[in-house]
């Protein structure tokens, strides 16, 4: 999955982290997930875990702004890892 996106400031969109390759390699599953959304963006609801996919709905952002969303998971086996998605805000 790509990790860089352009978002319109008025858009409310879902962004997802696909952990399937990593989880398959270690034979584990997601126990919990948190997504850190920086100031200027708003998380709409809690992150949704669907198998190896974590999805967070996001809105807002200042025109020409750049933001980093961070997804941290804990696996059933007790491992913790995190990945980032990078958003730039532009009129679309």
pTM above 0.75, yes or no: yes
CA distances from 81 to 19, 33, 36, 78 (A): 10, 10, 13, 10
Each residue's pLDDT tens digit, 52-81: 999 999 999 999 999 999 999 999 999 999
Fold of the CATH domain 4-89: Immunoglobulin-like (2.60.40)
Each residue's pLDDT tens digit, 6-56: 999 999 999 999 999 999 999 999 999 999 999 999 999 999 999 999 999
Q: What is the phi/psi pair of residue 63, to 5°?
A: -50, 135
Q: What is the phi/psi pair of residue 38, to 5°?
A: -70, 160
Sheet holding 80-89, edge to edge: 4-7, 80-89, 66-75, 30-36
Q: Count the Cβ atoms, other than its own, within 10 Å of residue 78.
A: 8
């Amino acid at each position: 999955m790509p990790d860089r996106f352009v978002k319109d400031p008025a858009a409310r969109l879902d962004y997802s982290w696909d952990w399937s390759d990593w989880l398959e390699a270690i034979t584990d599953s997601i126990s919990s997930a948190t997504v850190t959304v920086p100031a200027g963006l708003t998380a709409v609801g809690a992150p949704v875990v669907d198998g190896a996919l974590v999805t967070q709905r996001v809105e807002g952002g200042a025109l020409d702004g750049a933001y980093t969303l961070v997804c941290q998971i804990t696996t059933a086996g007790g491992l913790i890892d995190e990945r980032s998605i990078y958003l730039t805000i532009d009129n679309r």
